[in-house]
A and B are shown apart, each in its own frame.
Chain A
């Protein structure tokens, strides 16, 4: 069974850095991609980017390119989403998701990580 377990709530100040995590379970030894989706308070879903744990090949939506970094540590089955300089507008819930291909249907969602950026 697939499991995506995300790190907990983060409360940060503008200008601070942050890295949130998503621990994924192996799934029948098949390869898959781990992505990130943003949901701002009371708003819809936005696809941010995705990474292939096998070789760390990462793809970003143009809206998020340069704003965040997606990475993975295959040795501990964990994907990361990080910011070097947080802004208040980064306040949102971030979902870790699984797809079989880089541009594919999301067949499983993590529980989400709430990030609050406030002075």
Chain B
């Protein structure tokens, strides 16, 4: 099973700062890595697919990148509505697996 190691577990950020979340895969998964946002008491929603592809309706301050087996979610100019837990998800090999999540709060 592919393990996704997300870091940090928690990040407290002031508004307008940039947030960087990393997800490292235990083996090569190509670009088969996706990011979701789960706001408090809500269902997750898709933010970025295939490492860096944007999703219609998602603000442009969210972006994704890949370097080998390291994947990064970047949130530029953090807004209060971005308070959430962010998860990475691999669909390269069965079974599909998720990272443990990164909780982002406003200072």
A105 CB, min distance to chain B CBs, angstroms: 5
B-chain residues with CB within 8 Å of residue A105 when the two chains form the complex: 34, 46, 49-50, 89, 91
Q: Which residue in A45, A46, A61, A62 is a CB contact (below 8 Å) of B44?
A: A45
Is the CB–CB distance between B43 and A103 below 8 Å?
Answer: no
B50 CB, min distance to chain A CBs, angstroms: 7
Q: Which residue in A47, A95, A108 is a CB contact (below 8 Å) of B96?
A: A47
> Which of these binds chain B: A12-20, A23-31, A75-83, A109-117?
A109-117
A-chain residues with CB within 8 Å of residue B36 when the two chains form the complex: 45, 106
Interface size class of B (residues with CB under 8 A): 20 to 34
B-chain residues with CB within 8 Å of residue A47 when the two chains form the complex: 89, 95-98
B30 CB, min distance to chain A CBs, angstroms: 12
Given contacts A105-B89, A106-B34, A110-B43, contact A59 B94 (CB under 8 A): yes
Given contacts A105-B91, A106-B36, contact A44 B98 (CB under 8 A): yes
Per-residue CB proximity of B27-64 to A under 8 Å, as 1/0? 00000001010100001111001100000000000000
B-chain residues with CB within 8 Å of residue A106 when the two chains form the complex: 34, 36, 44, 46, 89
In angstroms, Cα B91 to Cα A103, docked, is 5
In angstroms, Cα B94 to Cα A62, docked, is 9
Is the CB–CB distance between A95 and B44 below 8 Å?
Answer: yes
* A63 touches B (CB below 8 Å): yes
Chain A interface residues toward B at CB < 8 A: 44-47, 59-63, 95, 103-112
9 contacts between A and B (CB under 8 A): A44-B87, A45-B38, A45-B87, A47-B95, A95-B44, A103-B93, A105-B89, A106-B46, A109-B43
Chain B interface residues toward A at CB < 8 A: 1, 34, 36, 38, 43-46, 49-50, 87, 89, 91-101
